[in-house]
Each structure stands twice: as C-alpha cells, then as structure tokens.
C-alpha cells in the first residue's frame, strides 16, 4: 500500500484518507435521506478492504455521530485503523481544560485510548491563543493520548506560529488540513503550500473532489436533484458547469487513457504534488472503492501541468 509520513515525526499513514464529514451529518449532507448508517459502514469496510485505513473526522461532524460511527466500525474489524479528529474552539469553551475535556469525549466516542492525529479545527484566536492550543496538545502527545498534532484552516503565518510553539516542546507540527483540489488551488497562492513544504508539514486536502464536481457525474440534467450544501454552490449550475467544460474534457481524455475515472485522475493529481494527502468523502462502498483507485499509479509531470493549466 502506498503510504506517506505525517510531517517529520515519522507517523506513517496511507497516501489517501477518508473524509467523514457526511457521516451522521443531517444539516449539510442529507444523512438519513439519501444514505444512512449501513451505507457509511459499507464505505468504511470497502476502504479498509482496499487498504485505505486513515479516517479523518471531527467532534462537530453530526455533533459527534461521525466519531461514534467510526468507533463502532473500528471495533468490528481486525485491521489497525488510524484516526484523525478535530477540536472546534466554540465560544463557550475558552479554557485549556476545554481542549483536554473535548479530547476525552472524542476518545470515548471513538472507543479508543489513543488516536493518530488531533487537530485544531479553526484558528479562533479570540478564544484561545495558538500557544495555548499547542502547549496543551504537546502535553497530550507526551501522555500518549495522541500521536501527532495538526491544525486545520490555518494561514501560513498561523501555521508557522503553531510549528514554532510545538518545536519549543520538542514536537513537530504534522499537518495543516485545508481545502485543495483542481478547482481550489488557493493554498498555492496564499503561501500555505510553500510554507508547509518549508516546515515539513503535510497538507491534508479536504474537498479534493470539489464536493463531487470533479467526479464527472454532475450534468445540467442531474442538478435538479441536488441535496444539502451543493444547492448553495454556484458551480453546481448549468452556467457553472459550462465554465468547467475544458477541464472536464481533459479529465475525460485522461480517464480513457489510464482506464480510470475522472475522480481518480483528480485525486492522483493531488497526490502527485508531493506531501499532500487527499481525504475524499465516501458515502457508500462504491464511492470508497472508486477513491482507492487513485493509488498505485501516477500521472506524468506533463499531465499534471496540463491539468493545472486547464483548471486555472
């Protein structure tokens, strides 16, 4: 199985993860309508069967339901599972003890005493400072409850500060989880990608398929059946799809050349950037199996650059 290290601390995970925001989330992702617990259990098992054993969740996904589902599924498999979750510094959780308590609750929902990666979901510094976050999590590494520390949605400057404070405790910042895809390359322009490479911080790329736009399954005819957050995204419109036609055409050509799907091409493009782990969502077994097909092969450098040009 293709693997990658998280940051420079030596923790190794599969080169593709599984994002589980939709698992248990009824607000954004129509959980319980279009798909349910049996479907996501199938996604979990199909991922593990394909060798993809790194799952990213958060305490706010489904208000804890995503963690509970992963905890349940993990107990039903003999395969070692690596789990990443996140703390969201909501306004009333304003003490260092809040972070410790939140981690305890996540571990209980996940039915484990240790997780691979714990991340600060957003840098809401008006609540707690980066130094507070990092010092608490450094202590948790030393206690053995987490193996690695990460951040999410941090700017280059904020990531540098987090790296600095952890380094003072003898610990490396492992990841920055940010949106990154062929249709969202903001981290290439705002300094996050360059700084992460300089610091040795791995990028966890969420929304790597742009909420499904890069799968090729959306057409003007299917748009009327949209559910959840996609109904708010202007790209999911006849005009939005038309603007992306050149990229979609290139993805289709490459798909035929490699006998892969557009989604697999898009995920492989991210993996080809180096030190980037895509964490696509999967609501069922078929989607999970399809995602895993992005591993074990590589686009050429010329094809990587062609896709970059077509997506600009």
Going by pLDDT thresholds of 50, 70 and 90, the confidence category of residue 208 is: very high
Higher pLDDT pick, 66 / 32 = 66
Angle made by CA atoms 26, 30, 34, in degrees to the nearest 5: 135
Q: What is the pLDDT of residues 84-116, one digit of tens each?
A: 999 988 767 778 899 999 999 999 999 999 999
Instruction: Give burial (CB, 10 Å; 0-12/13-18/19+) of 210.
Output: buried
Give the mean pLDDT of 15-44.
90
222 pLDDT exceeds 70?
Answer: no
What's the confidence (pLDDT) of residue 231?
Answer: 64
Give the mean pLDDT of 46-74.
96
Q: Which of 61, 165, 180, 218 is catalytic?
A: 61
Mean pLDDT of the chain: 92
305 pLDDT exceeds 80?
Answer: yes
Q: What is the pLDDT of residues 291-301, one digit of tens each?
A: 999 999 999 99
What's the confidence (pLDDT) of residue 151?
Answer: 97
What's the confidence (pLDDT) of residue 31?
Answer: 81
Q: What is the pLDDT of residues 268-281, one digit of tens each?
A: 999 999 999 999 99
219 pLDDT exceeds 90?
Answer: no
**pTM here?**
0.93
What's the confidence (pLDDT) of residue 176?
Answer: 98
Lowest mean pLDDT among 33-37, 94-98, 132-136, 217-221: 217-221
What's the confidence (pLDDT) of residue 47?
Answer: 98
29 pLDDT exceeds 80?
Answer: no
Structure tokens of 12? 């190794």
**Nearest C-alpha neighbor of 5 from the set 152, 147, 103, 154:** 147
Going by pLDDT thresholds of 50, 70 and 90, the confidence category of residue 224 is: low
Going by pLDDT thresholds of 50, 70 and 90, the confidence category of residue 227 is: low
The percentage of residues in the chain with a pLDDT greater than 70, rounded to a whole number, is 94
State how far Cα 201 lies from the chain centre: 15
Structure tokens of 67? 């963690």
The 10 Å CB-count burial string (b at 16+, else e) for 16-35 is: bbbbbbbbbbeebbbbeeeb
What's the confidence (pLDDT) of residue 232?
Answer: 60
225 pLDDT exceeds 90?
Answer: no
CB of 55 within 8 A of CB of 83? yes
**Nearest C-alpha neighbor of 182 from the set 247, 238, 233, 243:** 247
What's the confidence (pLDDT) of residue 34?
Answer: 82
Going by pLDDT thresholds of 50, 70 and 90, the confidence category of residue 185 is: very high
What's the confidence (pLDDT) of residue 51?
Answer: 96
DSSP states of the chain: --EEESTTS--EEESS-EE-TTTT-TTTS-BTTTB-HHHHHHHHHHHHHTT--EEE--TTGGGGHHHHHHHHHHHT-SS--EEEEEE---TT--SHHHHHHHHHHHHHHHT-S-EEEEEESS--TTTS-HHHHHHHHHHHHHHTSEEEEEEES--HHHHHHHHHHHHTTT--EEEEEEE-BTTB-HHHHSSHHHHHHHHTPEEEEESTTGGGGGGT---TTTGGG--GGGGG-TTSSHHHHHHTHHHHHHHHHHHHHHT--HHHHHHHHHHTTSSEEE--B-SSHHHHHHHHTTSS----HHHHHHHHHHT-
Lowest mean pLDDT among 233-237, 280-284, 308-312: 233-237
| 87 part of the active site | no
């Amino acid at each position: 199985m293709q693997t990658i290290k998280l940051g420079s601390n030596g923790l190794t995970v599969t080169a593709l993860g599984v994002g589980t925001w939709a698992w248990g989330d009824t607000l954004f992702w129509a959980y319980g309508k279009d798909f349910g617990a049996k479907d996501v259990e199938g996604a979990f098992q199909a991922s593990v069967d394909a060798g993809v054993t790194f799952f990213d969740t958060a305490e706010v996904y489904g208000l804890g339901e995503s963690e509970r589902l992963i905890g349940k599924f993990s107990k039903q498999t003999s395969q070692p599972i690596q789990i990443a979750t996140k703390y969201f510094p909501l306004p009333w959780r304003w003490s260092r003890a809040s972070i410790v308590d939140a981690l305890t609750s996540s571990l209980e929902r996940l039915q484990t005493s240790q997780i691979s990666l714990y991340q600060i979901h957003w840098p809401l510094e008006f609540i707690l400072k980066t130094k507070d976050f990092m010092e608490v999590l450094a202590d948790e590494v030393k206690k053995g409850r987490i193996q690695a520390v990460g951040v999410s949605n941090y700017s280059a400057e904020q990531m540098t500060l987090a790296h600095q404070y952890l380094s003072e405790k003898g610990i490396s910042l492992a990841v920055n989880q940010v949106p990154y895809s062929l249709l969202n390359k903001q981290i290439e322009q705002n300094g996050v990608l360059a700084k992460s490479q300089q610091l040795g911080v791995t990028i966890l790329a969420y929304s790597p398929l742009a909420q499904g736009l890069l799968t090729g399954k959306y057409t003007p005819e299917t748009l009327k059946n949209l559910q959840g957050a996609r109904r708010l995204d202007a790209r999911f419109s006849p005009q939005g799809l038309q603007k992306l036609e050149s990229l979609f055409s290139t993805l289709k050509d490459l798909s035929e050349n490699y006998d892969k799907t557009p989604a697999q091409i898009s995920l492989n493009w991210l993996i080809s950037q180096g030190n980037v782990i895509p964490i696509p969502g999967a609501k069922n077994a078929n989607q999970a199996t399809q995602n895993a097909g992005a591993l074990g092969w590589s686009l050429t450098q010329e094809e990587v650059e062609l896709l970059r040009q077509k997506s600009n």
